[in-house]
Amino acid sequence: MNKNLKLALFVIGATVFNLVLMLIIWLGGSAGTIALVNLAFGEAAVGKSGFVITVVWFIASIVLTFLIYGKTAKWLQKKYKLEQHFPQWFGKKR
């Protein structure tokens, strides 16, 4: 496998990981919060705040995914020495 193919597979895998993680955080957080609001305040409160809860969790999932992705990329870089495989991305910093 040449370096360009490895880089393309890495980018595709990282993108899929990022999107799946964001979807899990968004749907899980929204569903959990809506269930708690339903238990605490009843269905009327869920109807009024359901959209806001979903939007807030969507934004939170983007932020959390960004943070988790950054930590995961640093960990993978150390574990698999990615600077050897992708020098154009993980080369020496200037």
- For the stretch 4-57, pLDDT in tens is 888 889 899 999 999 999 999 999 999 999 999 999 999 999 988 999 999 999
Report the predicted TM-score, pTM, of the whole model to 2 decimal places: 0.83
Cα 53 to Cα 33: distance, rounded to the nearest angstrom: 7
Q: For residue 35, give Cα distances in angstroms to 7, 47, 60.
A: 42, 12, 18
pLDDT in tens, 49-82: 999 999 999 999 999 999 999 999 889 888 988 8
Side chain identity, residue 72: T
Q: For residue 30, give Cα distances in angstroms to 16, 33, 42, 50.
A: 21, 5, 16, 8
Give the per-residue pLDDT at 17: 95
